[in-house]
A and B are shown apart, each in its own frame.
Chain A
């Protein structure tokens, strides 16, 4: 089945450590996105990528980094510079060619800083 996978489902990190969240899609979508979701707030865009080897900062990119070496993969690294990283992280993808296309979402990763 086509879809988006994120791993792990739950992730625990000690303060001062970097951690990488995985996102893989087999939908052949060009565009991929990372969102952060906090209680009582909607989804906020961290980074997005329209094509391989290219990505742009979203609204809350500070303390995060990404790479897009393959079309199928868009990993997100939460660095020690991120002051409050405990949150739910969602990865999404879409067909870049049509703006009316929905974004398809992965099941999410819950990150907790201990």
Chain B
């Protein structure tokens, strides 16, 4: 079974600074999809960014970007110019058939 590992239970960043959240996954497949979801205190899950494994180019969405290293099975999320509203739980997810989630990283943004 595919597993997703987020090794950082908690992270902290100063407002306007940059932070990187780590994610690794285990799979024998070559065609799959990766996602980062954000869960703010409201607990509503919100898609942040997605990456298709067959694409070498790293996905970018405004201040959010990923560093996708397929051979290393690594999928980190970089948040630039951090804002107070970025404070949330962040979940990495892998999808081939069903979706597998990591345990999450709680991000705190300090003013």
A42 contact from B35, B42, B47, B102, Cβ within 8 A: B102
Q: How far is the CA of A44 from the CA of B45 in the complex (A)?
A: 14
Stretch in B62-70, B77-85, B91-99 with 4+ CB within 8 Å of A: B91-99
Q: Is the Cβ of A105 less than 8 Å from the Cβ of B96?
A: no
Is residue B30 contacting chain A, with contact meaning CB distance below 8 A? no
The answer to whether A14 has its CB under 8 Å from any CB of chain B is no
Q: Which of B4, B98, B101 contacts A48 (CB 8 A)?
A: B98
State which of A45, A92, A103, A108 has its C-beta within 8 Å of the C-beta of B43: A108
Q: Does B28 make an interface contact (CB < 8 A)?
A: no
Q: State how many angstroms separate the Cβ of A65 from the closest Cβ of chain B.
A: 19
0 or 1 for each of A27-57: is its CB under 8 Å from B? (1 = yes): 0000001010000111111001000000000
Kindly state the interface size class of chain B when it binds its partner: 20 to 34
The reply to whether B99 and A33 form a contact with Cβ atoms under 8 Å apart is yes
Give the CA-CA distance A23 to B9 in the complex, in Å.
Answer: 30
Is the CB of A100 closer than 8 A to any CB of chain B?
A: yes
Contacts of B32 in A (CB 8 A): 99
Closest to B106 in A: A40
* Chain B residue, CB-CB nearest to A110: B43
User: Given A43-B91, A105-B44, A107-B44, are A100 and B98 also a contact pair (CB < 8 Å)?
Assistant: no
Asked whether, in the complex, the Cβ of B9 is within 8 Å of the Cβ of A42, the reply is no
Q: Are B98 and A99 in contact (CB under 8 A)?
A: no
By a beta-carbon cutoff of 8 Å, the part of chain A in contact with chain B is: 33, 35, 40-45, 48, 58, 88, 90, 92, 99-100, 102-103, 105, 107-108
Task: List the interface of chain B (C-beta within 8 A of A).
Answer: 4, 6, 9, 32-33, 35, 42-45, 47, 50, 52, 91, 95-99, 101-104
Task: Kindly list 4 other residue pairs between chains A and B, CB separation below 8 angstroms, not including A44-B101, A99-B95.
Answer: A43-B99, A48-B98, A88-B43, A90-B45
